[in-house]
Structure 1
Amino acid sequence: MARKVFFSFHFKRDSQRVSQIRNCNAVSNHFEQTPFLDWAEWEKIERTGSTAIKRWIDNNMHGSGVVVLCFGLETHTREWVIYELEKAHKEGRGIVAIDMSGMKDLQGNIDKKGKNPLLVATDIKGTELFYYAKYKTYHWIDDDGRNNIDDWIEDAAVAAGR
């Protein structure tokens, strides 16, 4: 059975870029992915409140061994991204962070560099997750993500003992 991965990202701003990552052959051919919501589905969950959002995250993260954090300019400001990272850490999942700066969306807009959300998410003692050696950060373009993401995910799973 394929390893299950959960993608964490700023939905409204970065879903087009994340879709490119999720749909590359390395990911789509080797890993089971959590559902990718369209705008209408996300807005429906969002309208029902934070309890519904948390439930959706908890249910969809269940059984995943690795959280793939895809971050852009504003991702570090997103409450639910931080929740997902802290939950993944607490539950012993692997985390791999992918910097999407330089990637284009469907309109050709290029994303600027943003703060790594691992510098915002913390453990129970307040230590930023960025400082855990087992959580690696890569750059999608500079580190040839299209050809290396499967190794990044496997390495994160092994580092987490999954």
Structure 2
Amino acid sequence: MTRRVFYSFHYKPDNWRASQVRNIGKVEGNKPASDNDWETVTKGGDKAIQKWIDDQLNGRSCTIVLIGENTAGRKWIKYEIEKSWNDGKGLLGIYIHNLKNSAGEQSNKGKNPFDDFTMQRDNKKLSSIVKTYDPPYTTSKNVYDYISEHIEDWIETAIQIRNDY
């Protein structure tokens, strides 16, 4: 069963890395916004951005946060995480710092964005519930292959975790 997922990531520094994961082809992801489309959305302000995110999340069963060096703490990443969780969607994180960008560069590992949330019902950090995956390789191709090999299982696990919580 092909799952429909939403990819959450810090656009400017990580869009090249994110496109690699999105193009794996094992899951159906949200359509990427072109630079021009995104510029149009952002000109509409916070309400337009929120509406665009909400529309993109509609009909998705899981949100994959692609974690780069500066992903954690960003306003719209936090909104996407909170909205996804509150809407009952599976949620997972994949560290992408060892994938190369368009200039052939890797980056530093970022903080876990799920650390920013504490669950009201049991005072647990969301990071203790939501799984994150850090491919155990430093070579970009090996990282890509590892993600490709495991992403479908990670999605199913995320959906099961959310259903059980």
Q: Which runs of 5+ in 2 are unaligned?
A: 138-142
CA contact (8 A) 1:17 1:104 kept: yes
- 1:55–1:120 Cα change, 3 Å: same
Q: Distance in 2 between matches of 1:121 and 1:16?
A: 27
Q: 1:5-16 residue pairs with structure 2 within 5 A?
A: 5-16=5-16
Cross-structure match for 1:154: 156
SS of equivalent residue, structure 1 residue 160: helix
Q: Distance in 1 between matches of 2:150 and 2:33?
A: 25
The answer on 1:136 being equivalent to 2:131 is yes
Q: Which range moves more in the overlay, 4-13 or 122-131?
A: 122-131
Cross-structure match for 1:98: 94
Give % identity. 34
SS of equivalent residue, structure 2 residue 132: strand
Cross-structure match for 2:106: 110
Cross-structure match for 1:17: 17
- 1:122–1:43 Cα change, 3 Å: farther
The answer on 1:46 being equivalent to 2:42 is yes
SS of equivalent residue, structure 2 residue 16: helix
- 1:122–1:45 Cα change, 3 Å: farther
Q: Which range moves more in the overlay, 136-145 or 78-87?
A: 136-145
Cross-structure match for 2:57: 61
1:161 shift after superposition: 3.0
- 1:73–1:41 Cα change, 3 Å: same
Q: Which runs of 5+ in 1 are unaligned?
A: none
Q: Distance in 1 between matches of 2:117 and 2:156?
A: 22
CA contact (8 A) 1:75 1:117 kept: yes
Q: Which range moves more in the overlay, 91-100 or 151-160?
A: 151-160
Provide the alpha-carbon RMSD of the alignment. 1.9
- 1:121–1:11 Cα change, 3 Å: farther
CA contact (8 A) 1:5 1:32 kept: yes
SS of equivalent residue, structure 1 residue 46: helix
Q: Distance in 2 between matches of 1:121 and 1:147?
A: 29
> What TM-score do the two structures reach when normalised by structure 2?
0.86
Read off the aligned partner of 1:114 and give its amino acid letter: G
1:4 shift after superposition: 1.0
> What TM-score do the two structures reach when normalised by structure 1?
0.88
1:122 shift after superposition: 4.0
1:137 shift after superposition: 0.6
